[in-house]
A and B are shown apart, each in its own frame.
Chain A
Amino acid sequence: MNSSNLLSITTFIYGFAAFLYIVAVVFKKPFAGRFGTWTALAGIAGNVSGIVLRWVESYKMGIGHAPLSNLYESLIFFALVIVVIYLVIERSYVNRPIGAFTIPLAFLAMAYASLSPNISDRIQPLVPALKSNWLIAHVISCFIGYAAFAIAFGLSIMFLFKRNDSNEESYYLKFFPDMKILDELSHQMIMFGFLFLSAGIITGAVWANSAWGRYWGWDPKETWSLITWFVYATLIHARFMRGWHGKRLAYLSIIGFAAVLFTYFGVNLLPGLHSYGQ
């Protein structure tokens, strides 16, 4: 069994977990939700072993490096962080419907990595620019940030569903957390994500300064990460200082996540220095 197979299996485990969480919401089966939690935990086990195995394999190939160096590896890590953060939330808020809006994101990330013909799962040696201790710090910070924003996105969608049903007519939405909790929780996630996005941009800048001699160069990836930072900075100010809540913040959070996705995937369509991410 190699790491790619293990990670493909993990994709299906996450898919199954997502299915269970959705079933738990749609058919009001708490049992499915509990089973979903265990499935998600199994997925984490597979995901972590896959990453560790891949790390070991790269050393066996004589080109050892942390498996955080290309799009495939980053997607795998992204999925892992989403599921871990979600399970922490589930533990403290004891609410499984949130899983129906976040675990599918992890599944999609994994499925995209495993199934897309454009993404190679081969372990490649590091080109000179990537040989840096900053690689690990930079990639980990960025993807913890992205994962937190992904969860905030899921929570914002839930918030909008709940809000459109203010008369509590819907049978399903009764089991969603209160709007107040959804709003607060997604804000917590955004602050957490903002801290890590900042750390990601900063570690990237320090790295760029040691590799290319400049900490900022308006390369499209850098610029898009800054655009994302601007969007979330706007959100944080609107909430702290102008008392924005609810719908408007939920929309900003969705725009912010769209910026994250473009920073992550869209930039590869543009010319620039970050082409390893392809």
Chain B
Amino acid sequence: MKKNEISGGPLNGVWKFFASVKLTVTLLLTLACTSIIGTVIPQNENPAAYFHEYGEFLYRIFSFLDIFDMYHSWWFQFLILFLTINIIVCSIDRLSSTWKIVFAKEISFDIAKLRKSYKEEFSGNRTPEELKTLFLPVVSGSFKYTKVEETETGFVIFAEKGRWTRLGVYAVHLSVVLLLAGGLAGSFFGFDGSVNIPEGESVKSIILRNTGREQPLDFEIRCDDFNVSFYESGAPKEYLSKLTILENGKPVYNKDIIVNDPIRFKGINIFQSSYGTLKPKEILLSFTNRETGIIYRQKASVGKEINLPEAFGKFVIKEYSGSYDFRGHNLGEAFLGILTPLKGDPAEVILPMRFPSFDKMRKDELIISVEDAGRRYYTGLQVTRDPGVPVVYTGFIVMILGCFISFFMSHKRLCVEVVKKGGKSRVMVAGIANKNKLGMEVRTQRMAKLLSEKAVI
């Protein structure tokens, strides 16, 4: 669609509005400035936290403007939509004239324009005929296209290359449209959610991040095992989940995933994102008679009283604590229990997992410790589907190539005009490029130097 087809009327006005680079500059700067807001105000937090932080008045204004989820707000999306239309309209508006230049049937040269551009002049003592045979190979050596035109007093060599690079900028614009289209496709046809799977268990659905709703999957994900390893410093080294995909109850695929190495199965991606420990189910305890050294082992679970051997009475684990604080010291994971001897008062027993002999401090004749906490992990997985990714990645590649072409390559044109003057020749070398004029000046100088060396016997 060319712009002169929509002559006059309101459509033309709209077209002109969107074809303006002023609009581009305004939109880019507006996007730059408004994007700052969402980096200063944390996004998507609990409304109560915002209310507390900003007070009622600001909270109301911010909520109205969707500041708390601003990158998905109506006005931000509106700016992006405007930028997209702007890019498309600008590109179409200018493409037709570029197209005519790039795919011209016959390449024509405007010698008057070239004469006005950067030029070098010198004289040679060979005749134009001699120079023609000497110059042509030099010029065509560094230009893809060369053409010779005879003139009354000599000849002109026209040379050019990189005509197609004028399309680079359209590649960059196309890439931006591809990115936005891919992003849009992803938000319409994709999903992004997470799920926690205890070791040994499986799930058929996940919880969506944005809405908190449940999203069923076409298959089952089973977590066979989860492992976390640490460096000596205590920093995490690797999270690894052994996962199996089941379809109709039958395993069809399995893989160990770590961060940065997800499962990609039937358009769905499964990422390692977090982990945690579950409340232990069955705990193996040991009871040592301090005097005889005899060790008894018994299984226990939280809240269930067990009878102890000899005359030690009864023991019950009251609760599990993920980080137990003992006189100001954090003991980490621990069980708290009550020992009720046959005679005497019940005593509180603390069983930290990191310190198995902690109970010796009670100085009782019975020492209790945890042999196996029956600890179970769950793996936290991020599960996504995004059919827009191939489009976005295509956009990425096109953008890099397009930027390279439009920044560092140009349509270069050169003309060498030779005029007979007596038995000698007068030579003019002129060069022009649509970008990087300084660079073209240097090239023209170099070419003139090369040719001037040939022009003299």
Contact = CB atoms under 8 A, between A and B. Distances in A.
A209 B183 CA distance: 13
B32 A231 contact: yes
Interface in A102-134: 124-125, 127-129, 131-132
Given A128-B236, A211-B271, A227 B259 contact: no
B28 A230 contact: yes
Interface residues of A, number: 47
A131 B384 CA distance: 21
Contacts of B271: 211-213
Nearest to B392: A215
Contacts of B382: 212-213
Interface in B388-411: 389, 392-393, 396, 399-400, 403-404, 407-408
A218 interface: yes
B235 A125 contact: yes
A194 B172 CA distance: 12
B25 A129 contact: no
B130 interface: no
Interface stretch (B37-45, B138-146, B369-377, B416-424): B37-45
B39 A63 contact: no
A191 interface: yes
Contact of B396 (A125, A202, A224, A231): A202
A195 B407 contact: yes
Nearest to A256: B32
B236 A127 contact: yes
A127 B234 CA distance: 11
B29 A230 contact: yes
Nearest to A194: B403
Interface stretch (A6-14, A76-84, A153-161, A234-242): A234-242
B233 interface: yes
Contact of A195 (B235, B261, B392, B404): B404
A133 to B, nearest CB: 9
Interface in B124-151: none
Interface in A224-264: 224, 226-227, 230-231, 233-234, 237-238, 241-242, 259
B162 interface: no
Interface string B236-275: 1111000000000000000000111110000001011100
A19 interface: no
B74 interface: no
B260 A128 contact: yes
B259 A202 contact: no
B192 interface: yes
6 contacts: A131-B238, A210-B260, A214-B384, A214-B386, A218-B43, A271-B42
Given A214-B386, A234-B25, 6 more contacts: A129-B259, A188-B436, A202-B400, A213-B269, A227-B35, A271-B42
When A and B form their complex, which 8 residue pairs have the shortest distance between CB atoms, in order from nearest? Answer: A230-B32, A128-B259, A191-B407, A220-B39, A241-B21, A213-B271, A213-B384, A132-B260
